[in-house]
Structure 1
Amino acid sequence: MRSGDTIVALSSGATPSGVAVLRLSGSLVRDILESVVGKVPEPRRLALRAIGHDSLLDRGLVAYFPAPHSFTGEDCAELQVHGSPAGVRAILRLLTSLGARLAEAGEFTRRAFENGKLDLVEIEGLGDLLEAETENQRRQALARFEGGLTQKIEEWRHELLDLRALIEANLDFSDEGDVDDDLPFDFVARLHALSADIDHALQSVEHGRVIREGIRVALAGPPNVGKSSLLNALARSDIAIVTDEAGTTRDVREVPLDIQGQLYILLDLAGLRETSSKAESEGIRRAHLAMENADLILWLTAPDIEDLPVPSFTPPIIKVGTKLDLASTSGSHVLVSTRTGEGLVDLTRAINQFGQSIVSGEPALLSRERDKAALTRAAEELQTASANLNHPEVAAECLRQASYALERLIGRMDAETVLDRLFSSFCIGK
């Protein structure tokens, strides 16, 4: 990405479409607008303009956003035109001939970051918002994009700055008459309160993770117990291959499912049994690994299949008796028949009740491994500082390191690597 030049991109969906939105940002925006649409509209007001240079290409709505009050902090403009593939190509050719270049993925948002319009956690929220598929994901991403997490981090940083100022003043100016040798009486209480607040926030990371990535639900049990059939029934699609041959499923198949706004990832696993097949053995190994990493296990049994001992895995287990149309299975929490559909509503309700138990309440703002790593580092440094208040130099350095951890999280330090990875997943024009 090159800063300083003017960029342009199609910011709306692929053509053909009812409307296409072309976005520009950079120092040449006003000059380009004057060449293409004539009179530049009033800032932040839509105006109908003829679009072209030597000849008319289209008519559409034009908006102008002068710096610094724009998304990127630079002069910006948007052209809302008809979504004709030929028309959009012609307008893009004209705009690039006048000095703009085609933008790279995420370049508009990166300029917003570089110009101080968004910080790194807000940008991550924007990326999550663009990819949100469920209501819970949308609410969580929007809260992060709107600065909910940034505000909390800034509160922690300001408190850290106050504590650092107090302890460093004690170190540097203890020989001055207006600086006491001892720390203020409430210093320890404030340090402990800050540490407790960050520790409490860390407890919400898993909550945020399951909203952002989905609750992983493993369908497990012996071969031919009906795992793939149940997967197809819950997903309401013939996604998985179903046969009466044992060992048909040999890999972990993931299927997303939206239940009342929460994303669940259904995992169709290989049937668990002793086998001499190397391919099936690998599938069973992967099945065990998926069960260990799942948030919930649906342990399937059937009246015509010999049951296996329920594994002693950490995730909660719901016992599901399948093939209810043949006979009922004792000891099950839920009985279902994929042939008749009986019990599927009860099973969906049971899955959703589990999901609600771990994601209820306001959306958690912490949801990424990067969040967890930064706050864990800050919490560890605060604990070390508390333990070394009788060594002020050590405590002061720990408070500095805690501040740095929070500054890295919002992108004020060492942001380049995170930015490169993040923006590579953004769409062109955002």
Structure 2
Amino acid sequence: MLSIKKYPFKLKNKKEEKKVRGIVERIIKDVSKRGDEAIVYWTRKFDYPEFKKEDITVEKFDFDIEPEMETLVDKLKNRIEDFAKAQLDGIKNKIELNKCSQVIVPVKKTGIYVPSGKAPLFSSLLMSAIPAKVAGVEEIYIATPPNRENKISPYILFCAKILGIKKIFKVGGAQGVAGMALGTESIPKMDIIAGAGNKYVQEAKRILFGTVGIDTIAGPTEIVIIADDHANPEFVAWDLLSQAEHGLDSMAILITPSFNLARKVKNYVKDIISDFPEIESIKRTLKRNGGIILVENLEEAFSIANEIAPEHLSLQIKEPENWIKLIRNAGAVFVGDYSPVTIGDYWAGPSHILPTGGTSRFLSLLSVRTFLKEISVISFDREEFLKAKENVIALSEKEGLFAHAESIRARER
């Protein structure tokens, strides 16, 4: 159950992390050696026992979903698209200085990983693929695991259709990531792999980065809530539970200077989860990666939050806008009582694919920029060259790179 803890407390199980890495390394090595054969083997092992090679690629999308859900998904698509277009407008400002400029081009091929274990997260497909489309990526593919009937969620199929995606690989887990990173007989090698996923998926992305580009490390979900006496304890309790319900590896933490609020939230959580269909799972999650941290003041709360560097940081405090300047590390910030993480998950507009596991210290959310490359263009004429030559020769010779210096001298002879 949710308990008051002293910071710092252990959030990661290093022994478990080592075990996950070992399994993922074995899968990647196998896919590298055996290609589709390995894809089939691991999919049979983890997802569908009778999986065959011809099941890997899906190009015909048959689905039947509620008309009202089609309309709702289309509205969400438009909100994400509008925000992505605004991002692109902000990125593509032309730079020209000292005979140098910059061109911004999209990658050619992107693989979107769509989780479908506990539930098919079709919203994550929209949040990943729409920024790629707006960026101008030519080829977008999907990898998602089959269900127990060897099928793909109709909602994922519908989203793929309205996005204009032509091909889905019915492959999940580390083997799906490895297939897209390394290429197999059925799966082309991607330039970037993007999307959320479990710890095995994210470990595969971590290991394969360099062989393929990645968006961010978007693993098991996390929330840190900073709250004071202004906060509604019921709101806080539900926000903690909304992330804890994702699974055992989720993290849900409240940081507060108010013992009164801490007590109320703890009681609300206890009362609420008594009616939860998966009460034991929620209890284990909260015991393992949940807690309430009591602090002296809000400054200390923000300091701890920056150390944790959470995926989601919720500010349920008086005048939260005045405290944003203290935030250094977070995937996304949710300001005030009426900006719960769930709004970001399903409606706001920015992608909900966010860095987890403390990686918001150096990584950002998935955005249009994820799929773009900046290429410098240097266009010196002879006049500019002659102005620079003595400086360049002196610098290159000081570093012992004499052929560099001669490449300059050759042009003045």
TM tier, shorter chain?
under 0.3
Bigger relative contact order (CA 8 A; separation at least 6): 2
Superposition TM-score, scaled by structure 2 size: 0.28
Q: Which has the larger radius of gyration?
A: 1
Superposition TM-score, scaled by structure 1 size: 0.27
